[in-house]
Amino acid sequence: MKKQEEHMKKVFVGAAFYALGILANYFFGAERYRPGIGMELFGSITFMDGFIRGVLPKIMKRNHQKTES
């Protein structure tokens, strides 16, 4: 269970980095210069990794228990 909780934390970390990347692009970016693109990519990859490994199995387990009973 600890592993799954770690992956669930990745969802929040990924979302935070994605938001920071968007804000960096908004405040410091120009038409061709996007300083927050690395943070956006890291955030989106981390978010998807945490979602697939942490949140999705929890949802699938809950749905499986509902169909059995």
> What is residue 2's predicted lDDT score, i.e. its pLDDT?
83
- 38 contacts 52 by C-beta, under 8 angstroms: no
**How many Cβ atoms are within 10 Å of 60's Cβ, its own excluded?**
10
Distance in angstroms (rounded) separating the CA atoms of residues 51 and 40: 16
pLDDT, tens digit, 9 for 90 and up, residues 6-28: 888 899 999 999 999 999 989 98
Domain boundaries, the chain: 2-68
SS3 content of the chain, % helix, strand, coil (to 5): 85, 0, 15
What is the model's pTM?
0.78
pLDDT, tens digit, 9 for 90 and up, residues 42-63: 999 999 999 999 989 888 888 8
**pLDDT exceeds cutoff 80 at 33:** yes
What's the CA dihedral at 29, 16, 50, 52 to 10 degrees?
-60
> What is residue 69's predicted lDDT score, i.e. its pLDDT?
61
